[in-house]
């Protein structure tokens, strides 16, 4: 949440900051602001609304300077107004700060600072940092970095802070306690950002700060210190993503581009993960077969769309490994007193690798002695540094707030993990393993075929775009697809949608059905096929109109569908990869028909770094 960018070098900083902010705007778009440092001091410009509002405001009189910081906000404390927009300044206007996170003890600190005579101009938690820095610099006659170290120890909560002072016009100081901070260097410039895409035009060698570290960045160099003040070294991580991957590339929206990137993303996620003898190789998961055989249960933790991929994976892991799988929302997991020990394997799924609740769940699981494997898309993210093993989805950067290609790649990665466990535990006959791997390898081409449904899906979206409620139903792994289809639709089209296990409808939700209510049904499963048809008959009998996802050539489903999306046939446990694609497109086209921007839905941010 919140995009942060900083630059110090020889160029005019403003265009670099605005470009970085544009690349990170998916992290928050309630307001935007910049602070530019020049020989004259600091000039702060801030504006409520999306980044374009700030750009317009600055037209004709752009602030100048060769160092500066920028911020796109996802509001926590204080409404999205000009005065609550970052950067925030101290009383003298000589210090400016941007922040991602929540400072939990801000009220107490604010009262203290007000008693000392500091004047506040916003309702944010962030502003206390600017005044605390001012107080420390005055008290100790110290550098900004020294002041930041002292301030960090007084703050409670989660904070990625980036600050500048007019007394040190080529220095940027960054502080990390939980939300990500990434540094990039070139020969004559220093960059800092809250997300990799902002750094891609300049470098692919990035230095993610660890928790409880402070960095002092100058043109071409950076020094990093622990909160206790010791100088520490930071490893460089090479990012595979190129700059073009984080551009729209001719598509109207990132979401549509990312939906169409799925065949390649799926290929990349599977690349080098099968060996010639027909087995699954996961070099990143370095546990021995013996250790994998000792596991007595698997616990999957995640939020949002990642939770839905985990829900589908539960079926595959249980079926192929015969291990019991528990599935938990990461935000609930640590509060339910779960039973874990050193024979538990926890699978933590997070596209961003930064979701606060998933990280907290991971830490809790480790404390209980469990082994943790993370499934993530972002190299160098927090989850990769804390998990015992990491399985990357190689989906490339996902900028649209709605997860699409990362969902299908998570499904693929989790299926790989399930097969890998089955292989190590010898729980799956060799011929079944080989057949399943073959089916997985066919998925990228089948995704390509599924994308050809675009026109059918667009027609259905036009027909139902103005509905007020839509139900999504499925059975087996289809429940995860139904929940994900409903989430996708509600988050970008603001249309009320509910995902349900079809067999549960009769226990309440069927009361919502009346003449003309659209019901999306996933009817690709084989085991519960007849039961699913019966559930569809029940809603049709009560007036529902049906939008059905079915296997290609299924005439029985065709006969009961008002709109039909026919997907290629695969193994039932793999079918969520294909079934979810028309539903992603459906959500996209409904949002467009309703005149909404699918990439930046209201109230949301791509990466949820607060609890």
Please report, as ranges, the residues that interact with ligand M6R according to CB under 6 A: 303-306, 350-352, 355, 358, 401-403, 491, 604, 607-608
- Closer CB to ligand M6R, residue 303 or residue 591? 303
Residue with token string 């539960």: 314
Name the residue number minimizing CB distance to ligand M6R: 304
Neighbouring-strand partners of residue 32: 47, 72
Give the Å distances, CA to CA, from 511 to 332, 487, 504, 517, 532: 29, 21, 12, 11, 18
Q: Which of 314, 488, 600, 606 is catalytic?
A: 606
- Closer to ligand M6R by CB, 129 or 246: give it: 246
Nearest residue (CB) to ligand M6R, 106 versus 308: 308
Is the separation of the CB atoms in 232 and 225 below 8 Å?
yes
Question: To the nearest whole angstrom, how small is the minimum distance from the Cβ of residue 355 to ligand M6R?
Answer: 3
Query: Which residue lies nearer to ligand M6R by CB, 211 or 291?
Result: 211
Catalytic residue among 2, 163, 303, 409: 2
Q: Which letter, b or e, does each residue of 363-383 get, where b requires 16 or more Cβ atoms within 10 Å of its Cβ?
A: ebbbebebbbbbbbbbbbbbb
**Which of 358, 570 has the CB closer to ligand M6R?**
358
| Min CB(423)–ligand M6R separation in Å | 27
Instruction: Find the shortest distance in angstroms from Cβ 602 to ligand M6R.
Output: 12
Pick 200 or 409: Cβ nearer ligand M6R: 409
Cβ of residue 399: shortest distance to ligand M6R, in angstroms? 12
Kindly give, in sequence order, each residue whose CB lies less than 8 Å from that of residue 430, ignoring residues fewer than 6 positions away: none
For tokens 């609890």, what's the residue?
A: 611
- Is 136 in contact with 179 (CB distance < 8 Å)? no
CB of 330 to ligand M6R, least distance (A): 8
**From the CB of 300, what's the least distance to ligand M6R, in Å?**
13
Closest contact distance (angstroms) between CB of 82 and ligand M6R is 27
Structure tokens at 203: 């470098």
Report d(CA 536, CA 475) in Å as an integer: 11
Q: Return the structure tokens found at 122.
A: 């916003």
Angle between helix axes 405-425 and 262-270 (nearest 10 degrees) is 30
405-425 helix and 430-451 helix, angle to the nearest 10 degrees: 170
**Judging by beta carbons within 10 Å of its beta carbon (0-12, 13-18, 19+), is residue 98 exposed, middle or buried?**
buried
Least Å distance, CB 23 to ligand M6R, is 17
Decide if 110 contacts 132 (C-beta within 8 A).
no
CA distances from residue 108 to 104, 156, 558 in whole angstroms, order as listed: 9, 11, 64
CA contacts within 13 A on the Cβ side of 287: 22
Nearer to ligand M6R, 406 or 546 (CB): 406
Q: How far is the CB of 90 from ligand M6R (least distance, A)?
A: 34
Of 151, 126, 128, 138, give the one whose Cα is nearest residue 229: 151
Cβ–Cβ < 8 Å for 447, 266: yes
Q: What is the DSSP string of 553-610?
A: T-HHHHTT-SEEEEE----GGGHHHHHHHHHHHHHHHHHHHTT--TTS-TT--SS---
Q: Is 606 a catalytic residue?
A: yes
Closest to ligand M6R by CB, 465 vs 604, is: 604
Beta strand 371-376 with 344-350 is: parallel
Dist. CA 72–CA 49, nearest whole Å = 9
Among all residues, which ones are annotated catalytic?
Answer: 2, 606
């Amino acid at each position: 949440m919140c995009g942060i960018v900083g630059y110090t070098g020889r160029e005019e900083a403003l265009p670099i900051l605005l470009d970085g902010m544009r690349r990170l705007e998916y992290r928050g778009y309630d307001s935007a602001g910049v602070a530019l440092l020049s020989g004259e001091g600091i000039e702060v410009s801030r504006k409520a609304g999306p980044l374009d509002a700030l750009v317009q405001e600055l037209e004709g009189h752009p602030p100048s300077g060769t160092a500066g910081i920028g911020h796109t906000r996802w509001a926590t404390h204080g409404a999205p107004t000009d005065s609550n927009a970052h950067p925030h300044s101290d009383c003298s206007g000589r210090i400016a700060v941007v922040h991602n996170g929540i400072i939990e003890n801000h009220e107490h600190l604010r009262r203290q600072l007000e008693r000392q005579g500091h004047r506040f101009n916003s309702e944010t938690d962030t502003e206390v940092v600017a005044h605390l820095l001012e107080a420390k610099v005055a008290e100790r006659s110290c550098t900004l970095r020294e002041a930041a170290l002292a301030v960090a120890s007084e703050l409670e909560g989660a904070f990625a802070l980036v600050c500048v002072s007019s007394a040190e016009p080529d220095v940027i100081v960054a502080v990390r306690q939980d939300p990500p901070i990434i540094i990039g260097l070139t020969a004559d410039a220093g960059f800092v950002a809250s997300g990799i895409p902002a750094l891609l035009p300049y470098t692919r060698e990035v230095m993610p700060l660890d928790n409880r570290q402070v960095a002092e960045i100058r043109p071409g160099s950076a020094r990093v210190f622990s909160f206790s003040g010791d100088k520490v070294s930071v490893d460089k991580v090479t990012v595979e993503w190129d700059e073009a991957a984080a551009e729209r590339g001719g598509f109207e929206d990132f979401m549509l581009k990312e939906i169409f990137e799925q065949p390649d993303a799926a290929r990349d996620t599977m690349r080098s993960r099968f060996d010639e003898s027909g087995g699954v190789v996961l070099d990143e998961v370095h546990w021995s077969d013996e250790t994998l055989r000792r596991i007595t249960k698997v616990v999957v933790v995640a939020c949002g769309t990642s939770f839905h991929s985990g829900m589908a994976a539960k079926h595959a892991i249980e079926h192929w490994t015969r291990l019991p799988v528990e599935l938990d929302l990461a935000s609930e997991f640590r509060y339910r007193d779960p039973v874990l020990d050193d024979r538990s394997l926890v699978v933590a799924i997070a596209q961003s690798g930064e979701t606060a609740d998933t990280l907290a769940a991971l830490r809790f699981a480790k404390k209980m002695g469990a082994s943790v494997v993370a499934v993530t898309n972002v190299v160098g993210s927090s989850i990769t540094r804390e998990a015992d093993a990491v399985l990357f989805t190689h989906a490339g950067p996902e900028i649209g707030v709605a997860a699409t290609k990362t969902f299908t790649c998570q499904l693929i990665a989790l299926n790989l993990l399930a097969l890998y466990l089955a292989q190590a535990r010898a729980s799956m006959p060799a011929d079944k393993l080989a057949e399943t791997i073959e089916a997985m390898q066919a998925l990228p081409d089948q995704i390509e075929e599924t994308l050809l449904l675009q026109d059918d899906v667009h027609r259905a979206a036009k027909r139902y775009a103005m509905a007020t409620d839509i139900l999504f139903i499925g059975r087996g792994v289809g429940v995860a697809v139904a929940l994900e289809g409903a989430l996708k639709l509600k988050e970008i089209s603001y249309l009320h949608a509910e995902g349900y296990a079809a067999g549960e409808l009769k226990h309440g939700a069927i009361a919502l059905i009346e003449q003309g209510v659209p019901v999306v049904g996933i009817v690709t499963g084989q085991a519960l096929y007849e039961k699913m048809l019966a559930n569809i008959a029940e809603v049709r009998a009560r007036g529902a109109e049906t939008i059905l996802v079915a296997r290609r050539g299924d005439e029985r489903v065709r006969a009961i569908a008002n709109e039909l999306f026919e997907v290629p046939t695969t193994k039932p446990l793999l079918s969520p990869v294909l079934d979810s694609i028309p539903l992603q497109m459906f959500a996209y086209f409904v949002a467009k028909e309703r005149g909404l921007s699918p990439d930046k839905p209201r109230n949301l941010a791509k990466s949820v770094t607060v609890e």
